[in-house]
Structure 1
Amino acid sequence: MKKTLLLCFIHGFKGGDDTFGGFPEHLRAIVQNGLPKIRILAIQYPKFETQGDLTKCVSKFREWLQEKIIDLEVENGSPSPTIDPSVRTILIGHSMGGIVAADTAILITSDKMIESSEPDKPETTQFNSLMFPYIQGVLAFDTPYLGISPGVVAHGAEGHYNTASAALTQLSGLSSAIWGTKEATDATKDKKPVAALPAPPAAPATGWAKWGKIAAAAGGVAAVAGAGTAAFINRDKITSGWSWVGSHLEFVGCLMQGENLRKRVSAMVEMRENLDVGWANLYTRLGKQAVSKNDGSMVGSVIGNTRTFCNLPKKNAKDFWQEAINDAAHDETGAHMAMFYPKDNPGYYGMADAAKKLIVEWSSNDWYESSTGEQSSTIPMEHEL
């Protein structure tokens, strides 16, 4: 029987059909070259509501995936999909989609939900190898399994402070037209515009104490500036890292549950060891365009010049993280959003090749070698559902 490997793509928070661009078909094609004995299919999970409960999202995705796999197993004429499945799946998630993928794999193999467990209670996961659907691997792209890096907020906050202060200083320069010059009357010559704020220090001291003052000033700019000036400043903040991360933290509460984040990572490591289910997280790291501490950035001098979107593990899970450098991105959020677009990510093809190598490695096993012949029929599959 000809076997089928299904590459199932799951977008992240507020993502949609355009999240992956042409990457699903590109990856499918190069994986097909690496695994010629089986058929490779690529599908995308339809756009879903990302503001709801994570456990409900995982349950809905699992049901959807089961239906797709059952259709394939029936068409393949598989005698026993659970004992000897003809279809195996690689769950591929971007950003929060990687958490949905991991939680789905954990649910299928252990019948447990990470989010429904008690955060302060350590658990030992018992895995079941007779899983359906059969998950061959979980491949994540820039998934914040251990939370979002502080640098995403920090660099954005510093940028906002500098931009806002410069804008307000420029507006304050119009004071002569509003309040008069030195020759103005006594009633107006000492009056200052409401929008006036001091410029940022020329050479700010390092340290979190000083940084906290700057961050606080940045957060209070809108209130001090007034409605008109705030509107002017906000025009440059619509797609900023600060507001973008803020929306994540507002709607995706699982990123605030540190113990559950660690449980999820531990469960995936155990799954890899016990069931040989592949797992990796290809994370973005800023390259040549990144601001470093040598460029006068206060944030760089405090948190260093290695800039990533997601926090990195320091211990046993470190081997499962692989960097994907973007030399064109100026900030973490931009690199995160541009992963699958070659014109914005010079490392696109290297990243795709790294993903292919992982999938080929995970799938080169007895199941793959047992694939023979052709499918009983051709199944129409859409890349975007």
Structure 2
Amino acid sequence: MRKVLLLVFIHGFKGGDTTFGTFPDHITALVQHALPKLDIRFLVYPAFETRGALEECVSRFRDWLLEKVIDIEVQNHTPSPTVEPSVRAILVGHSMGGIVAADTLLALTNDLPIDTSAPADLKKPELNSFMFPYVQGVLAFDTPYLGISPGVVAHGAEEHYNTATNALTQLSGLTGAIWGTKAAADAEGSKDKKPLTALPAPPPSDAPIPMWQRWGKVAAIAGAGAAVVAAGGAAYLKREEITSGWSWATSHLEFVGCLMKGPELQKRVAGIVRLNKELHVGFGNLYTRLGKKAVSKGDGKTMVGSVIGNQRTFCNLPKKESKEFWHEAINDEAADEAWAHMSMFYPKDNPGFYAMSEDAKKLIVQWATNEWSESSTGDTKLLVEHEL
């Protein structure tokens, strides 16, 4: 019987069917060429609601995966799929999708029949090596298993700070048009300058103001008033959406809330590492690191450079334990961590796409080269299945 290696792609927070672009086709072809004895197929998990409890999302994904694997086992007429499956899966997750993949694997390997005769003080619970569906590995792409890097927030804050500073500078340039050229010069040359947080006070009432400047002042005030009225009207018309928005935000925060729980993050990684050591389940996280276009921002000359340094990544990296499972994927084109994170599967935005693909292929081939794959026989025709 020809065995099937199923690559299952899971998008992350607010992702969808287009998250991976053409990457599933690309990596499937690479792995098929490297493992001709296997039938390499792929599925893309349909778009799902990235809100609510993470456990519920994992449960839904697990049920979907079980259904898909059973369908293939039935097609293959596998005599005993739970003991000797013809299908093994590699769960490929981007961002939060990697956490869904990891939790699915942990759930599968912890599902054991209740043994009342077992001692209650076991140091570690037994692992289920006969999991079904059988997951051969978890390949994550930029999954924040240990949380999101402080640099993502720090550099983002710096950009907003610079934008605000530029806006205030431009705003001060309007002083002459509104209050008069002399007032602007006086404000600029004042010895006890105040921060540019608001327009300077108007000149004395007896100072002559040209007509065009008075009209400019009226126009500016009228424009600001219109903006406030418009915003207030929009808020009133959207009051129901604004009210329900709190529950919407809370529901989404519940899904990504696991990233704020340090002990749980550590426990998840430790669990996957244990599976790698004891059950030989593959595990890897290809994380993005900014390259040439953004490295200068971490040279210590910016407000965050001296703290964060030039290793700009979206994910926190392990210091010692589990470090071997993190693999660098450099993007020389991206200028910030968020964009590198979102564009990693698009060659035009990520010059390191093909190197990353090669690294991913090597990991999958390494994990799938075992007794199970060696026992695969039959037709070597490539079959690729893409589920939208």
Give the structure-2-normalised TM-score: 0.78
1:323 matches 2:310 = no
1:266 matches 2:270 = yes
Amino acid at match of 2:318: P
**Contact kept in structure 2, 1:95 and 1:144, CA below 8 Å:** yes
Q: Deviations over 1:219-261 (max 9, x none)?
A: xxxxxx99969x9xxxxxxxxxxxxxx9976751111111100
**Contact kept in structure 2, 1:10 and 1:94, CA below 8 Å:** yes
In 1, distance between residues paired with 2:84 and 2:273? 25
Amino acid at match of 1:88: R
Partner of 2:198: 196
Amino acid at match of 2:101: A
CA RMSD of aligned residues (A): 3.1
Partner of 1:8: 8
Query: Structure 1 residues 154, 355: closer, same or farther in 2, change over 3 A?
Result: same
Partner of 2:108: 108
Name the SS of the counterpart of 2:139 in structure 1: strand
Partner of 1:57: 57
More displaced 10-residue stretch of structure 1: 85-94 or 247-256: 247-256
In 1, distance between residues paired with 2:46 and 2:382? 19
**1:62-141 equivalent positions in 2, closer than 5 A:** 62-111=62-111, 124-141=124-141
Amino acid at match of 2:363: L
Query: Structure 1 residues 157, 335: closer, same or farther in 2, change over 3 A?
Result: same
Q: CA deviation at 1:179?
A: 2.2
Partner of 2:291: 287
In 2, distance between residues paired with 1:353 and 1:51? 33
**1:341-380 equivalent positions in 2, closer than 5 A:** 341-374=346-379
**1:150-229 equivalent positions in 2, closer than 5 A:** 150-182=150-182, 195-196=197-198
Name the SS of the counterpart of 2:49 in structure 1: coil
Partner of 1:22: 22
Name the SS of the counterpart of 2:33 in structure 1: helix
Amino acid at match of 1:19: T
Partner of 2:302: 297
Name the SS of the counterpart of 2:48 in structure 1: coil
Amino acid at match of 1:143: T
Query: Structure 1 residues 299, 250: closer, same or farther in 2, change over 3 A?
Result: farther
- Runs ≥4 in structure 1, deviation > 2 angstroms? 123-126, 179-184, 192-198, 225-229, 246-251, 291-296, 378-382
Q: CA deviation at 1:196?
A: 3.2
Query: Structure 1 residues 197, 175: closer, same or farther in 2, change over 3 A?
Result: closer
Partner of 1:203: none
**Contact kept in structure 1, 2:54 and 2:254, CA below 8 Å:** no
Q: Deviations over 1:81-111 (max 9, x none)?
A: 1110000000000000000000000000113
Name the SS of the counterpart of 1:182 in structure 2: helix
Q: Deviations over 1:92-144 (max 9, x none)?
A: 000000000000000001139xxxxxxxxxx8343110100000000000000
- Which of 332, 336, 356 is matched with 2:341 structurally? 336
Q: CA deviation at 1:76?
A: 0.6
Amino acid at match of 1:166: N
Query: Structure 1 residues 297, 248: closer, same or farther in 2, change over 3 A?
Result: farther
Unaligned runs of 5+ in 1: 113-122, 185-189, 199-224, 232-245
In 1, distance between residues paired with 2:361 and 2:199? 53
In 1, distance between residues paired with 2:53 and 2:83? 32
**Contact kept in structure 1, 2:298 and 2:312, CA below 8 Å:** no
In 2, distance between residues paired with 1:86 and 1:308? 38
Name the SS of the counterpart of 2:40 in structure 1: strand
Partner of 2:115: none
**Contact kept in structure 2, 1:125 and 1:267, CA below 8 Å:** no
Q: CA deviation at 1:381?
A: 6.3
Name the SS of the counterpart of 2:93 in structure 1: strand
1:255 matches 2:288 = no
Query: Structure 1 residues 95, 37: closer, same or farther in 2, change over 3 A?
Result: same
**Contact kept in structure 2, 1:175 and 1:193, CA below 8 Å:** no
Greater Rg by CA = 2
Name the SS of the counterpart of 1:252 in structure 2: helix
- Which of 310, 313, 320 is matched with 1:308 structurally? 313
Query: Structure 1 residues 254, 73: closer, same or farther in 2, change over 3 A?
Result: same
**Contact kept in structure 1, 2:317 and 2:323, CA below 8 Å:** yes
Q: Deviations over 1:299-338 (max 9, x none)?
A: 1122111100000001220000000000011000010011
Amino acid at match of 2:137: G
Amino acid at match of 1:275: L
Query: Structure 1 residues 197, 280: closer, same or farther in 2, change over 3 A?
Result: farther
In 1, distance between residues paired with 2:60 and 2:88? 19
Q: CA deviation at 1:294?
A: 3.4
Amino acid at match of 1:284: T
Q: CA deviation at 1:369?
A: 0.5
Q: CA deviation at 1:51?
A: 1.2
Q: Deviations over 1:260-285 (max 9, x none)?
A: 00000000000001110000000000
**Contact kept in structure 2, 1:328 and 1:345, CA below 8 Å:** yes
**Contact kept in structure 2, 1:28 and 1:42, CA below 8 Å:** yes
In 1, distance between residues paired with 2:64 and 2:285? 24
**Contact kept in structure 2, 1:282 and 1:324, CA below 8 Å:** yes
